[in-house]
Structure 1
Amino acid sequence: MTIPPTSTSIPVQRSTEALDPNHADLDRLDPLALVQAFADDQRAAVEAVRSATPALARVVEAALPRLESGGRLVYVGAGTSGRLGVLDATELTPTFSWPPERAVPLIAGGERAIRQAVEGAEDDAAAGANDVRAANVGPGDVLIALAASGTTPYVLGAVEAARSLGALTVGIANNPGTPLLAAVDCPVALDTGPEVISGSTRLKAGTAQKIALNTLSSALMVRLGKVYGNLMVDVRTSNAKLEDRAVRLTCHGAGVSESEARAALAQAGGSVKTALVMLRLGLSVQEAEARLAAAGGHARAALGEG
């Protein structure tokens, strides 16, 4: 596969780089008006994601079979986009007990780039391809490529390598008609337009990417059985706050007292899902775990609710 030309070879119309005529006097605003300008402009991020919901739903449908078969989510980006990918990948483990080895964030410039800019890293297409190969990306994996501009060479190099290795590729960009969206299996355009501070895509472009990632990964986790009703039943109880949350979830889902919930969770090793099945069906830990395994980890199916 050949990557479509990048911004270095042909001009690409990028609305994220356009000047916003509504904020030409931004530096003259008083604090209240300044904050209102930034806050009001963020509404466009929500609307951009709402417009992209059909595309995001197609990603869920395409990605689900690979993840059900043990595949990984691999995030690729540079700068703000790369950091957002790192954040989404990191949060899947405590929220849904998603194995950390199955959420792989790749960022231009490596881990150092999470905290500081690594000059020129995003311009290296070969580095993107090499990082994908080093992560052993393969046919079972889903690569989520993020670039506000839609032209970042590091990201485009990663996409080309991932597609050649058989992975499902997803592209999220804030400019329609850009090379990234043309290069992937599942394009998602978040058309957020010009920024209040011209060209600063850490603003509403970044917000739209964050919302899209939250939406996409959360929808996948729901479909994978990590949620019962709207209860976060696969939460990892790694601290006191999350232990208390697990108790509340178990009380609500099973309709039991706090003491009953705590006792069941202790037997279930902190697993809300297992505790729910135990309490609702009067089963032992082993019986509840076996029932969940037979249901593919879906609590509703394990409870016989279809």
Structure 2
Amino acid sequence: MTTVAAYAAPAAKAPLERTTIERRAVGEFDVLIDIKFAGICHSDIHQAREGWGEAIFPMVPGHEIAGVVSEVGPGVTRFQVGDRVGVGCMVDSCRECENCKAGDEQYCVKGATMTYNGIGKDGEPTQGGYSEKVVVDENYVLRIPDGLSLDVAAPLLCAGITTYSPLKHWGAGPGKKVAVLGMGGLGHMAVKIAHALGAEVTVLSQSLRKKDDGLKLGADHYYATSDPKTFEELQGSFDLIVSTVSASLDFGAFLSLLKTRGALVNVGAPEEPVSLNLFSVIGGGKTLAGSMIGGIAETQEMLDFCAEHGLGAEIELISADRINEAYERVLASDVRYRFVIDTATI
């Protein structure tokens, strides 16, 4: 066991505070990672404040982890000391079910082991990236290409794959019109990736205050959803809408923006149930879908794609003692576009 410094929420809705946690000894197939940077995802706030249901405390959040390998187990073949690596939202799965064998470990039938707020196979709670080090099985560690700086790569381990996976699955590319709903931590990566895939990209945001940013990041068009004329002008326009917002939506209004057989895919997860008139999907043969991160192989594919196209997250680097301030600013939409913790400050 190794004792490391970390920032943890001691209880639901409590401010995060500096503490120490124990990391397991490096096993035969384990990799010890010196964490250099950890992104702050809105999911961290949902879970630390029990917005998505009962959680495990004390909780060290963080599933956007970038660092350097400092030790490997004797059976490790994929990594060596000094490698630049990342860890995303999961650190294990059953490896035996149909989904795991198909490379969809995130949909493990028995339930993937999440990087934090989960229970590992040893029966102990998992703790995340707001810490100095982490021990992870090599099969759930990603290689960060040399073309990506570790600080801007960290958010790709959640925000990048969460948007890349549905864009790929629903065929975003040349000749396709894609709308990104929301221009935050997820949305800004969705814009970058959809543009790099060759799609015609439109941002749908509450206001136009981020319009200049959206166009610089690769959007072709930018509309305010607070303007009723937006829904009149864009009716029937899109092949795909990726919703990155975690607030309840008027799904009927947004489904009306889809072409026949278009898809509205949710990657943001509101804390409250939503309502839907099914005629919104029946008329036009439309799809209302969801998507959750991606498998390990697809996450590596995303990292390689981002490196090839020079796509890192737009970040604000902070010291660890500003985590609680950052949480409040995320809730106020006051970040462009991802807070990243310099873990040397923990």
TM-score, reference length from structure 1: 0.36
Higher-strand-fraction structure: 2
Larger Rg: 1
Query: What TM-score, normalized by structure 2, do the two folds share?
Result: 0.33
